[in-house]
């Protein structure tokens, strides 16, 4: 019996921190641009890096939702339509101007790109609203009748929505690349036109300069914002989680779901014969449901929280998820209230093995 207990403890001690991922969809595991940049920049593929890639994916999903909120879409469309209207008015009012470079052609192309952007934003906004309305209607329907038929219909509709979204994103990416190339052409024509362009077509000249300056400003703003997000994900992930939870609200696990999770208190090992810095034992604490988990031994490299990157201190409270990944109680509770999946392996604590 003692031998069996020793073998069990050894297995728990040497068990890898990352277990095989439970069944997840392809979209859920596909890394975002920020996640890829984080991984390549640091060169790390440890548990802490996986948590940050998951947070980057979550942040990208939130950003997409916020980017297509009604006020943001309205402001974006009004802004680009204003550029189109100003371009048309200026082209009509400057018929007598004779520029030495085809700056009129550039302004027409710029206005056309703004118009295409407005159309693409509207299509994506309408698609998201249609999908959201369909999901809300499906929740209100009685799923006890014609379950198979409704599942087939939802599957075909979902595939069609994904195809449309992919097409819209490809068009938007193509329009962005064309805008970048067109900006270079416009910059070249303004510079090559020089003083003569300013004298012969001052209104067209300054209109082109304003458009070019706006594009530079927005490009710098996006680069700075991406850098700040990357730094925050690497250095202050708990703050990002707290902000996301405060802004997005509760969309994950409830207090009742969190109360049944096994709770532990970390105890640093005091074995002088085999000293191991940071190694210790997870001593179970009785949960509100009365369930008492088994004691666990942690290796030195596992005795830290992958969310805040802090080593476990003596007496700190930990939470253990069904997938056997453990974190600081304060860190993982904020995460699970925002997203009810393990930040390491995407295991859903609400759906369990039934997740798709």
pLDDT at res. 22: 39
Q: What's the pTM value of the predicted model, to 2 decimals?
A: 0.58
Nearest to 116 by CA among 173, 200, 160, 37: 173
- N- to C-terminal Cα distance for the chain? 40
Contacts of 3 (CB under 8 A, 6+ apart): none
pLDDT digits (tens, 9 = 90+) for 234-271: 677 666 666 666 655 556 777 888 888 888 888 887 76
Instruction: Grade residue 351 by pLDDT with cuts at 50, 70 and 90.
Output: confident
Range picked from 27-41, 86-100, 139-153 for highest mean pLDDT: 86-100
Domain 25-65+239-354: which topology? Herpes Virus-1 (3.30.40)
C-alpha 66 chain-centroid distance: 11
Enumerate the CATH 3.30.40.10 domain ranges in the chain, comma separated.
25-65+239-354
Nearest one of 56, 58, 62, 61 to 40, comparing CA atoms: 56
**Mutual orientation of helices 237-248 and 329-338 as an angle, nearest 10°?**
40
């Amino acid at each position: 019996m003692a031998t069996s207990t020793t073998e069990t403890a050894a297995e728990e001690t040497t068990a890898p921190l990352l277990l095989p991922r439970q069944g997840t969809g392809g979209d859920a595991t596909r890394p975002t641009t920020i996640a890829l940049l984080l991984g390549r920049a640091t060169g790390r593929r440890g548990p802490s890096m996986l948590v940050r890639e998951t947070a980057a994916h979550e942040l990208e999903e939130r950003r997409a939702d916020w980017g297509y909120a009604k006020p943001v879409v309205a402001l974006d469309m009004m802004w680009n339509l204003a550029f189109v209207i100003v371009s048309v008015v200026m082209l009509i009012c400057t018929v007598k101007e004779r520029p030495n470079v085809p700056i009129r052609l550039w302004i027409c192309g710029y206005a056309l790109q703004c118009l295409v952007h407005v159309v693409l934003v509207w299509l994506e906004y309408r698609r998201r609203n249609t999908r959201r309305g369909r999901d809300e209607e499906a929740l209100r329907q009685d799923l006890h009748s014609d379950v198979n038929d409704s599942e087939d219909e939802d599957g075909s509709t979902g595939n069609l929505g994904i195809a449309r979204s992919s097409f819209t994103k490809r068009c938007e990416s193509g329009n962005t690349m064309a805008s970048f190339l067109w900006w270079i052409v416009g910059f070249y024509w303004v510079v090559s036109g020089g003083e003569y362009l300013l004298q012969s077509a001052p209104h067209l000249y300054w209109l082109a300069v304003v458009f070019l300056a706006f594009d530079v400003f927005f490009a710098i703003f996006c680069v700075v914002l991406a850098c700040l997000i990357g730094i925050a994900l690497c250095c202050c992930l708990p703050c990002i989680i707290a902000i996301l939870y405060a802004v997005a609200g509760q969309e994950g696990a409830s207090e009742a779901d969190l109360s049944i999770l096994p709770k532990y208190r970390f105890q640093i090992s005091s074995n002088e014969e085999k000293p191991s810095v940071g190694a210790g034992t997870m001593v179970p604490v009785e949960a509100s449901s009365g369930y008492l988990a088994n004691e666990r031994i942690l290796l030195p490299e596992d005795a830290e929280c992958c969310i805040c990157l802090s080593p476990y201190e003596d007496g700190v409270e930990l939470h253990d998820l069904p997938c056997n990944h453990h974190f600081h109680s304060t860190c993982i509770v904020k995460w699970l209230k925002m997203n009810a999946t393990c930040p390491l392996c995407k295991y859903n604590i609400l759906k369990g093995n039934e997740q798709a």
